[in-house]
């Protein structure tokens, strides 16, 4: 007797994920700014996300970096790994953006971002 494999239907394959994947990020509490996240997700998804650090994102940008900048980013990843923190390049960049934007919001014209961009 042949076995039939149960496959997901079109509704499961092409369902809208926009309502469940929208996240607003700010710098983490260890940087002096509270993290703001949506609270309408199930607790199991939040706990799973906090252990892996992986989050699905709706938008994508391309950033070009120099060889030295890429090497510095990879060195930072390895340095974080020695502290028990496993993060990919995308996560590091998102956190750096969140920190820079939070600093700009709180410090305005005195922020490190303004200082670096005016030099």
Cα distance between residue 73 and residue 89, in whole Å: 7
Cα gap 70→52, rounded to integer Å = 23
CB 6 within 8 A of CB 12: no
Taking only the tens place, the pLDDT of each residue in 44-76 is 554 444 445 567 888 888 989 999 999 999 999
Share of the chain above pLDDT 90, in %: 35
Local structure of residue 32 (DSSP, 8 states): T
Write out the two tokens for 25. Answer: 């990020």
Please tell me whether residue 43 adopts helix, strand or coil conformation: helix
First to last CA, the chain: 74
What is the structure's pLDDT at 96? Answer: 92
pTM: 0.52
């Amino acid at each position: 007797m042949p076995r039939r494999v149960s496959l997901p239907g079109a509704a499961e394959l092409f369902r809208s994920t926009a309502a469940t994947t929208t996240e607003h990020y700010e710098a983490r509490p260890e940087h002096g700014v509270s993290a703001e996240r949506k609270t309408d997700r199930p607790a199991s998804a939040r706990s799973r996300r906090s252990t892996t650090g992986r989050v699905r994102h709706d938008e994508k940008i391309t950033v070009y970096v120099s060889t030295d900048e890429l090497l510095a980013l990879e060195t930072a990843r390895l340095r974080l790994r020695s502290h028990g923190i496993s993060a990919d390049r995308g996560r590091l960049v998102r956190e750096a953006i969140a920190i820079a934007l939070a600093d700009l919001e709180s410090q305005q014209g005195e922020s490190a971002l303004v200082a670096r961009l005016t030099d």
